[in-house]
Amino acid sequence: MIEIKLENITKEYSIGTKAVDSASFNINRGEFVVLVGPSGCGKTSILRMIAGLEDISSGNLYFDGKIINNLPSNARSVGMVFQNYALYPHLSVYDNLAFPLKIKKVNKNEIKTQVEKIAQIIGLSDDINKKPKQLSGGQRQRVALGRALIRKPQVFLFDEPLSNLDAKLRVQMRTEIIQLHREFGTSSVYVTHDQTEAMTMGDRIVVMNGGKINQIDTPQKIYDFPSDIFTAQFIGSPQMNFFDATSIQYQSIKLIENDFVIPLHSELKNDISDVKTCGIRPEDIILSDSDSDSFKIEVLNVEFLGFEQLIYFDFFGSLKSIRYNLDKQILPNDIINIKFDNSKLHLFNSNGNRVN
């Protein structure tokens, strides 16, 4: 296990175009850090610079306090797992797992011992003589994981490894990857565009957009206290609802479209003079029986999910959502009263940054 530190790392593929712009963060020993963001945000470029597959335009990369900018990739003790498995189709599971050891000229008995151990860990002992084409997508990804594990790297790098799997297999493989991480304790960096993977797998999450880091924190902190509008809408499904708003004498905010006034919870009474947007997560919108502290909406659609229902409504041309339990049946075209949990408001200024 090693500690990785990025210090003002920048990557320019062409003059003036920064794929990564002054990225700085640490990966602690044994930590599982997830880089998440839309396509083209720079997350894979960071992964490739850590691996030594891309040059660093400026800034420094440290392994255990030593600058390794110019250290060749084969000297970094890094194991990588890719989206496309990268298996040798003509080799069996055994030979795919054994390949890194054969390159190192490990003796045959030791290779056999290590391959059988890894095959057992990844649950493929009974398939060890099969070729990749005889395996399912999940099994192929396990072979790719096993081939990285057998090298005993100091760092694991995962580049969207579950993108080619169906939904059921993705859930299964998420659990298996985290179980392997807990067993081996290797410092790991995982790249994904899927916020569900980020939330369920990461010790910490690095949210990226446009080559810049928006926020670094635990999944819970990012969900509860997103630093800006982009992070707030990217993390969470359904995404956070946003309303144009303005402050009223530091005690309340008012929704612009319908003049609905929301008194602020005592913990939220900071300097909110520049509030322009009020965010509220779907589960923090409350169905109310009173007309006095709520406003009416017409239900457009309801999605029944077995354990809850998602209620959708139009708010001045913008689709909003409510996550609600099954205490009451809600139907399309129903007129209902709603209010916001004022302890769960997310307030953003004109620059899109959080102010509370």
For 225, residues 6+ apart whose C-beta sits below 8 A from its C-beta are: 217, 354
DSSP state of 211: T
Find residue 213's DSSP bridge partners.
Answer: 208
Per-residue pLDDT at 269 exceeds 80? no
For residue 238, whether the previous peptide bond is cis, meaning omega lies within 30 degrees of 0, is yes
Task: Note the pLDDT tens digit of each residue in 273-293.
Answer: 889 999 999 999 999 988 888
Q: Which two tokens stand for residue 42?
A: 């720079």
**Which phi and psi angles does 175 have, rounded to 5°?**
-65, -45
Task: Note the pLDDT tens digit of each residue in 30-63.
Answer: 999 999 999 999 999 999 999 999 999 999 999 9
DSSP state of 225: S
Task: Note the pLDDT tens digit of each residue in 208-258.
Answer: 999 999 999 999 999 999 999 999 999 999 999 999 999 987 689 999 999
For 288, residues 6+ apart whose C-beta sits below 8 A from its C-beta are: 294, 337, 338, 339
Q: Say how far apart CA 177 and CA 312 lie, in whole Å.
A: 35
Q: Say how far apart CA 331 and CA 71 lie, in whole Å.
A: 62
Torsion of CA 312, 335, 241, 355, to 10 degrees: -170
Task: Note the pLDDT tens digit of each residue in 160-188.
Answer: 999 888 888 889 889 999 999 999 999 99
Q: Say how far apart CA 75 and CA 267 lie, in whole Å.
A: 51
Specify the pLDDT at position 251: 81
CA 55 vs CA 3, 35, 52, 68, 282: distances in Å: 20, 19, 7, 11, 43
Comparison of pLDDT for 14 and 234, the residue scoring more:
234
Question: DSSP string of 48-97?
Answer: HHHHTSS--SEEEEEETTEE-TTS-GGGS-EEEE-TT----TTS-HHHHH
Specify the pLDDT at position 25: 98
Average pLDDT, the chain: 94
Q: Which two tokens stand for residue 255?
A: 């929704």
Q: Which domains does the chain have, with CATH numbers?
A: 4-233 (3.40.50.300), 239-349 (2.40.50.100)
Specify the pLDDT at position 268: 61
**Which phi and psi angles does 223 have, rounded to 5°?**
-70, -45
